[in-house]
Amino acid sequence: MRKILIVGSGQSGLQLALSLQEHGYDVTVMSARTPDEIRAGWVTSTQCMFADALAIERKHGLNLWDDVAPRVAGQGFSMAGPDGQRALNWIASWDGGPAQSIDQRVKMAAWLELFEERGGNVVIHGVTTADLNGLARLYELVIVAAGKGELVQLFDRDPSRSPYTKPQRRLSVSYVHGQESRPERPGTTDVWMNIIPGVGELINIPGYTLSGPCDIFYVSGIPGGPFDAFADRPPAEEQLRRHLELFRQYIPWEYERAKNAELTDGKAVLVGGYPPVVRRPVGELPSGGFVLGMADVVVANDPITGQGANNAAKCAESYLGSILENGDRPFDREWMQGAFDRYWEHAQWVTMFTNAMLQPPPPHVQQILGAAQTNPAVAKRFVNGFNNPTDFQHWLLDPAKTEEYLASV
């Protein structure tokens, strides 16, 4: 039985551990927190997962919340005009099925317990580079899936794939109860992206948290602008108050729905921001051993396109395939690079799309967003790209292809 160590207990690390367990691998997971500590902690992300990523979870029997989580049927898009009204406003449904957002405090605590119940080895301990240097000798393969902390420094930044050196957005998140339905879509649950040019974005995501169904305010501010208002990390209630005030000023149609919202719990907020980065996938330990980076350890995109948890699921599935196909051969540096290259075939398009969304939309993208207002086929293709961003290479990421596409619809 081959022995594998996975450091990190997030979406990618636990999904890979549980799916390797299915195939008889001897897997150890190192987590900095127990399940109860995860549940008692602060929210860590917004994690809206689309149909393809959810299908991977279901294939491995890991989607445990289909009966309770809101079924998010479609994605809306609004753009504020100079007069504070909506210059654009449209919605389309996803062809592959509904999306779902499960608070990672709920999911990761449950998955960590499930892994241990199925006979997996769990070690509750923070890991330093010095720790890993000694531990690596005990395993045939070590995967680093902890996107925060000093272990990330084992993986060098790849400047050819990382155009930004500073955060492009300042992020703040509130999980709430009590938001009202959209007047024009009563009773529906949709992701809705609101863009305020020159200011930032509010993405509204129906989710499921410790206390049941909820709504998530994901506020993404251009650095130095009005939405960049949380650097002092205010208390949770003050953060929500500021969110609502920003909605009132810049997105009044969302304020009317949100004005009576209340936090789901005292740790239902998050503040952050980081530069998007692609790192080299193989890290070398002081001992000369090699470790493989996974998901946001090596490809960390800005959350503006909601791809983080989706990428993590797809990276874990891609690495699973590479591990199974390797059979009894060694997990050497060449194999590690090959495993990442296989994942990058998908991830490169996510990175390209996400980096593009951080800039003011060029004329050909403005044409697409405008055409979606009146042409449902354009709206549907744009929205479905969030489930499968590789499609954008064929019609959105190149002005000539956009022109050709618009002429065909």
Mean pLDDT, residues 255-261: 97
Structure-token pair, residue 352 = 């390209």
Structure-token pair, residue 256 = 């009317």
Structure-token pair, residue 169 = 């957005």
Structure-token pair, residue 12 = 């990618």
Looking up tokens 């081959």 gives 2
Q: Which residues touch 373 (CB under 8 Å, ≥6 apart)?
A: 88, 89, 90, 379
Alpha helices, DSSP H, located in 152-192: none
Mean pLDDT, residues 162-166: 96
Task: Please give the Cα distance from 31 to 213 (Å, whole number).
Answer: 27
CB 175 within 8 A of CB 43: yes
Q: What is the mean pLDDT of the chain?
A: 96
Structure-token pair, residue 405 = 């596409």
Looking up tokens 């305010």 gives 217
- Across 210-285, where does the E strand assignment appear? 212-221, 262-263, 269-272, 277-278, 282-284
Mean pLDDT, residues 362-382: 95
Banded model confidence at residue 196, pLDDT cuts 50, 70, 90: very high
DSSP 95: S
DSSP 98: -
Q: Which residues touch 361 (CB under 8 Å, ≥6 apart)?
A: 369
Q: How much is the CA Rg of the chain, to the nearest whole Å?
A: 21
Task: Please give the Cα distance from 403 to 332 (Å, whole number).
Answer: 45
Looking up tokens 């294939």 gives 59
Structure-token pair, residue 208 = 């499921």
Dmax (CA) for the chain in angstroms is: 65
Alpha helices, DSSP H, located in 25-156: 35-39, 51-59, 104-117, 129-135
Task: Please give the Cα distance from 302 to 296 (Å, whole number).
Answer: 10
Instruction: Give the model's pLDDT for residue 112.
Output: 98
Is pLDDT above 80 for 302? Answer: yes
Fold of domain 74-99+170-272: D-Amino Acid Oxidase; Chain A, domain 2 (3.30.9)
Tens of pLDDT, residue by residue over 186-195, are: 888 999 999 9
Note the residue count of the chain. Answer: 409
DSSP 158: -
Task: Please give the Cα distance from 271 to 339 (Å, whole number).
Answer: 33
Tens of pLDDT, residue by residue over 3-61, are: 999 999 999 999 999 999 999 999 999 999 999 999 999 999 999 999 999 999 999 99
Percentage of residues in the chain having pLDDT higher than 90: 96
Structure-token pair, residue 41 = 């902690």
Q: Where are the domains of the chain?
A: 3-45+53-64+103-164+275-357, 74-99+170-272, 362-408
Q: Which residues touch 153 (CB under 8 Å, ≥6 apart)?
A: 129
Give the chain's end-to-end CA distance (angstroms, integer). 54
Instruction: Give the model's pLDDT for residue 188.
Output: 87
Q: What is the pTM of this model?
A: 0.96
Instruction: Give the model's pLDDT for residue 259.
Output: 97
User: Which superfamily does 3-45+53-64+103-164+275-357 belong to?
Assistant: FAD/NAD(P)-binding domain (3.50.50.60)
Is pLDDT above 90 for 271? Answer: yes
Cα torsion 353, 358, 359, 365: sign:
positive
DSSP of 331-359: --HHHHHHHHHHHHHHHHHHHHHHHHHTS
Residue 7: phi, psi to the nearest 5?
Answer: -100, 115
Is pLDDT above 80 for 147? Answer: no
